[in-house]
Structure 1
């Protein structure tokens, strides 16, 4: 059981009442819970799943494997092919299920895991190889995680992007977003869209919709917690047409949301700047020549 809150006296009273009713032991500050490790320092709170990764490597017999530079090859083109050799479905589903749980602290594998999870019903050997590449990437990045620091503000920002007709089977697009509160990454998502977009602007528009919904939800949560969230939220996008058709006059006039245009390369660099201390894309973005993040 994890007990958290901002009222120390109430937490002490709660622990006291629990100990009176049940046989329990106070383990002190949170260090490990359901495969997630929590470390504290003067810089902030760092969470990762290093032990979970090492256990996963041992389970699939890849402790001594050669690490991969990225979780997935660029322009992978994964799809269902006719007459292709099938992989062991049970083994595939178990591995991908573990990778999905791992992505709770590893946004750098979110897209790759989202792709391989699309073939759970009938995985082929090519899909299995793609899943194993994610594992090989984890071998070299087992200590990656998220660092939450105090930056003196609680501003809410988000970044959204989408590929157009990226799925070779059904030509559906994949959209994703990252959101930050006070400079700390808090939520992220990468998901294939449900309908076929007829243009890149439409694909980006649907991506903006998901990112904007997330920002407004975070703003409401902050308000319910009694935290100052009065500053305008910013959702960055690299498609001017999508921004034009997405702007909500009510929210814009009330200065709730702004949607600045940002070039793709600048957007990626800005994400890196905000997330560098979280060890997010240390390997992936270096390969894309975006920058040279530090630990």
Structure 2
């Protein structure tokens, strides 16, 4: 094969003899990961036990962070000399291709400025719209029609379900920089096994929404506090097929949105308070994991973590697990919230439903509500970015 761009050791006219394919088989990728980890550990890096793709190195006043995705590596830190030494070390071992300052990584565009960092996937969005043949379509102002509830077996079965599944996979990857798609992706991914025409229509509506704002992404300000803050919400009995509830949460580090999720609960809740309490439990687990990562990255944060919920009954259960007789059937793992509250890790507080940011992740809202929530979540347009 021809030498990749940036590979300077090959003489003009020379070709590479391919002995093993890194992506073709399971064994080569596993062996590559083992070899890379061993070399990084030998250099002095420590592998995080909470995310095995994360490596960090403390050396005096220098702190380096290295993130690995198969054979793509992103290095950051406070010492450029240390970063150059790590790149030289890896180049001697594996012959790497140095792309300089990060501008494009795994389909994510990184735009830096004096005021902060902006992440977006504009090219990826335009590729999705183009592959769907909808470059000339009329844009939509919402990811889903307001109030839409999708159910299984509605409409005619799709003759080519692979097209639907491929699109859902691409939307799942796009969700890394587009929290405004979290709810619609969760809803549509429920039907990948047997998609119908109604599901495809919702998919088309989501593409029309992307067509209207392909440049939206997340902005992380350069000056921000290290205070963690979480919002948790639930939509009781949201699934019309199973009557299971939806959990939605988002977590901020200062003004920066760092975690968000929409997920169907595994059991059927008997009341809105129970659904909200289960959502609180899921959010606390996410906060605990984030606290471990922040500790690895040497990012200080204060406890208790402010935890906003718009259901007063769920907050009463946190303060007193025998608040009501109907809570006796709750699993022990749900009371993780109360245990962390007693330990001083989280501090649940009441918030008005109109100010509940996690509400954006549990239901399809109108245009005015979406615009309000998007601005508060730190989602901005590339052409209007402060950077």
Identify whether the pair has TM-score above 0.5, normalized to the shorter chain: yes
Query: Structure 1's 258 and 124: CA in aligned 2 closer, same or farther, altered over 3 A?
Result: same
Name the counterpart of 1:85.
156
SS at match of 1:260: strand
Maintained 8 Å contact 2:125/2:210: yes
Find 1:17's aligned residue among 64, 86, 89: 89
Instruction: State the Cα distance separating 1:289 from its structure 2 match.
Output: 7.5
Name the counterpart of 1:266.
355
1:193 & 1:253 partners in 2: Cα distance? 25
2:226 & 2:353 partners in 1: Cα distance? 25
| 1:30-69 alignment, distance < 5 Å | 30-69=102-141
2:373 & 2:89 partners in 1: Cα distance? 52
Which one has the bigger strand percentage?
Answer: 2
| 1:76-115 alignment, distance < 5 Å | 76-81=148-153, 84-87=155-158, 88-115=160-187
Find 2:278's aligned residue among 206, 209, 212: 206
Instruction: State the Cα distance separating 1:131 from its structure 2 match.
Output: 0.9
Name the counterpart of 2:310.
238
Deviates more, 1:41-50 or 1:223-232: 223-232
Count of residues in correspondence between the two structures = 283
Per-residue deviation, residues 79-122 of structure 1 (Å, max 9, x unmatched): 0136x311121111001110111001101010001000000000
1:17 & 1:220 partners in 2: Cα distance? 29
Per-residue deviation, residues 187-213 of structure 1 (Å, max 9, x unmatched): 100011111111111111111111111
Per-residue deviation, residues 36-55 of structure 1 (Å, max 9, x unmatched): 11100111010000000001
Instruction: State the Cα distance separating 1:6 from its structure 2 match.
Output: 3.2
Structure 2 residue 218 is the aligned partner of structure 1 residue 136: no
Find 1:194's aligned residue among 262, 266, 275: 266
Find 2:251's aligned residue among 176, 179, 193: 179
Q: 5+ unaligned residues in a row in structure 2: which ranges?
A: 1-72, 320-336
Instruction: State the Cα distance separating 1:250 from its structure 2 match.
Output: 4.9
Instruction: State the Cα distance separating 1:271 from its structure 2 match.
Output: 9.3
Find 1:116's aligned residue among 184, 188, 195: 188
Name the counterpart of 1:286.
368
Maintained 8 Å contact 2:107/2:124: yes
Instruction: State the Cα distance separating 1:246 from its structure 2 match.
Output: 2.8
Name the counterpart of 2:142.
70
1:45 & 1:8 partners in 2: Cα distance? 19
1:253 & 1:246 partners in 2: Cα distance? 9
Instruction: State the Cα distance separating 1:256 from its structure 2 match.
Output: 2.0
Q: TM-score, normalised by structure 2?
A: 0.68
1:11 & 1:209 partners in 2: Cα distance? 39
SS at match of 1:72: coil
Q: TM-score, normalised by structure 1?
A: 0.89
Name the counterpart of 1:224.
296
1:123 & 1:257 partners in 2: Cα distance? 41
Maintained 8 Å contact 2:294/2:300: yes
Find 2:236's aligned residue among 164, 167, 172: 164
Name the larger-Rg structure: 2
Q: 5+ unaligned residues in a row in structure 1: which ranges?
A: 273-282
1:176 & 1:146 partners in 2: Cα distance? 19
Per-residue deviation, residues 160-181 of structure 1 (Å, max 9, x unmatched): 1111111111111111100011
SS at match of 2:163: helix
Instruction: State the Cα distance separating 1:285 from its structure 2 match.
Output: 5.7
Per-residue deviation, residues 212-238 of structure 1 (Å, max 9, x unmatched): 111122122222322212332111000
Query: Structure 1's 189 and 63: CA in aligned 2 closer, same or farther, altered over 3 A?
Result: same
